[in-house]
Amino acid sequence: MTNTIYAKKIGMTESYVGDTRRSVTILQVMPMTVAHQKTVEKDGYAKAQVIFGETTKKATKAQAGHLKKSKTKGKYVREIDGITELEVGSVVNIDALLVAGTVVDVSGISKGKGIAGVVKRWNFAGGPRTHGQSDRLRRAGSIGQGTTPGRVYKGKKMSGRMGNDAVTIKNTFIVAYNETNSYLFVAGSVPGSNGNIVKLVKTADAPKDFPTVTLTKKNVIVPVAPTEVVESETV
């Protein structure tokens, strides 16, 4: 069984986990179909290629030839572990990963910010605002010494491209899952813009005493399991 899910980021909302109000991210889980099995004999490693997501584009000849055996169609192709025993063309069962309370690592590509200065990119304080300064309010300042070493050290925090990086949020957890629209609710924020694809990897099982979850937005309400009421005898 695999421990990996791919989903599309929809947006954010809020929920009550027990008595605690939390921000949650809405992800739409996409069913994965096995498109190809890589083997140690042919490829040097064993992994399964899965395909998912809807597409309106016509496949190229190379793509059509690769997917001919599985008779599948999709937008994204990824390689995952744990399902090398499944036949090509079969749908991957991920029901065991959609349990509320399951601990996961979420990976995605963060929002691109373009070229940014040191104040925005590295949270520099900037220069003085008064006492005669005219042009160094948001400048980086000195970036090194003179003759010795006579160069700028590698890794120096300077202006440059910000964002659009691979980011992983570790040890967050699944809040709830709505089977009606395949919405998965994950605690906290998730890297990337709405519509981006994120990868969820299970790292631990859900605790047995995971609290009741109530979502506050009407369009994404998840039915809450009724709590058991234990009647105590009065003496």
User: Token match 């005898």: residue?
Assistant: 233
* pLDDT of the residue at 223: 45
User: Token match 């003496």: residue?
Assistant: 235
Walk me through the domains of the chain, giving residue ranges and CATH numbers: 4-112+167-220 (2.40.30), 113-163 (no CATH)
* pLDDT of the residue at 221: 44
The candidate with the shortest Cα–Cα distance to 50, out of 67, 64, 65, 25, is 67
Instruction: Tell me how crowded residue 234 is: count the other CB atoms within 10 A of its CB.
Output: 4
Question: What token pair was written down for 23?
Answer: 């921000």
| Exposure letters 188-199 (e unless 16+ CB within 10 A, then b) | eebbbeeeebbb
Please report, in tens digits, the pLDDT of each residue of the chain (235 residues total).
788 899 999 999 888 888 888 899 999 998 888 888 888 888 888 888 888 888 777 877 887 887 777 777 888 888 888 787 788 878 888 888 888 889 999 999 999 999 999 999 999 999 888 998 888 899 999 999 989 999 999 999 999 999 999 999 999 999 998 888 889 999 999 999 999 999 999 998 888 888 878 776 544 444 444 444 444 454 3
Question: What whole-number distance in Å separates Cα of residue 216 and Cα of residue 53?
Answer: 28
